[in-house]
Amino acid sequence: MIWSLALGAGATAEAGAAGQEPAGRPSAGGAAAASPAAPAPFDEEGFTALYHGVARPLRAYLRRLTGDPERADDLLQETFYRFLRAQRPPLDERQRTTYLYRTATRLAQDGWRRAARERRRRAAAPPEPEAAPPPDRALALDLDRAFGDLKPRERALVWLACVEGAPHREVAEVLGLAEASVKVLLFRARRRLARALDRRGVAAEDLR
């Protein structure tokens, strides 16, 4: 629930002028725009604190987007690297969270076409015989696969809005959508997820 945390912590910063760093956060990027070639104003300690505050939910998001834990780790590192290197005005905590999620989404999007090709290739290949997993693992696999049945944007939408608890405005900003369309798209994505779960025989009772 990084969004609710970020919103809570960043409330005072948000009340201030846009682009102003909140007071009392010396590690934040107050001098980000000081030099165009030195956009990484965080000291190592400040960066590590930011990283440990956001990285875990961001990696979970990337994992759901990509379906690949190793790729999620790679994208996570690339996201923070780009955040450090980006030339942008100083951000408050909420803006930073949005910025990181937007960067991560764009990086993941780059791989979506490749992932789709890979899925098509796997679908065309004859299925390999695999041992039946234990029931709990089977349920986890079904959940993963049902979630993977969603379109990439739907996965992002559902995860951000329903798991991370991001407000629709932030979801729209991260995904490059109009705020007004988030509600409709979210409704459709949830309906599609329900159908995917049903197709795989997952019932609400199994999940209790």
Partner 1 sequence: MTRPADPTHAPRREALVDAALARLAADPADAAPLPDPEPIYWRARVIGRLAERQQAAERAGRPLELVQLLAALALAALAAAAALWLEPDLLGWMARAAGEAAALGGGSGRLALLVAAPLLLGAGLAGLQLLSENR
Residues forming the site for partner 1 (CB under 8 A): 35-40, 42, 44, 47-48, 51-52, 55-56, 59-60, 63-64, 69, 73, 76-77, 80-81, 84-85, 139-140, 143-144, 146-147, 158, 162-163, 190-191, 193-195, 197-198, 202-204, 207-208
- Cβ of residue 154: shortest distance to partner 1, in angstroms? 12
Q: Of the two residues 63 and 94, which places its CB atom closer to partner 1 in the complex? A: 63
Copy the structure tokens of residue 88.
Answer: 């942008």
Name which of 14 and 49 has its Cβ closer to partner 1: 49
- The answer to whether 35 touches 42, Cβ cutoff 8 Å, is no
- How far CA 36 is from CA of 17, 88, 109, 113, 205, in Å, comes to 22, 9, 27, 33, 56
Q: Is 92 left (phi over 0), alpha (psi -120 to 50) or beta?
A: beta
AA identity, residue 15: A
Is the CB of 36 or the CB of 129 nearer to partner 1? 36
CB closer to partner 1 out of 18 and 194: 194
Complex with partner 1: residue 14 or 40, whichever CB lies closer: 40
In the complex with partner 1, the residue whose CB is nearer, 84 or 177, is 84
* Smallest distance, partner 1 to C-beta of residue 138, A: 13
How far apart are CB 159 and partner 1 at their closest, in Å? 8
Taking CA atoms, 170 is separated from 39, 173, 179, 203, in Å, by 24, 5, 8, 31
Instruction: Check if the beta carbon of residue 21 is closer than 8 Å to that of residue 13.
Output: yes
In the complex, minimum distance from the CB of residue 111 to partner 1, in angstroms, rounded to a whole number:
16
The CB-of-188 to partner 1 minimum distance in angstroms stands at 11
- To partner 1, the closest distance from the beta carbon of 56 in angstroms equals 6
Q: How far is CA 200 from CA 118, 120, 131, 134, 142, in A?
A: 22, 19, 18, 16, 6
Q: What is the amino acid identity at position 54? A: V
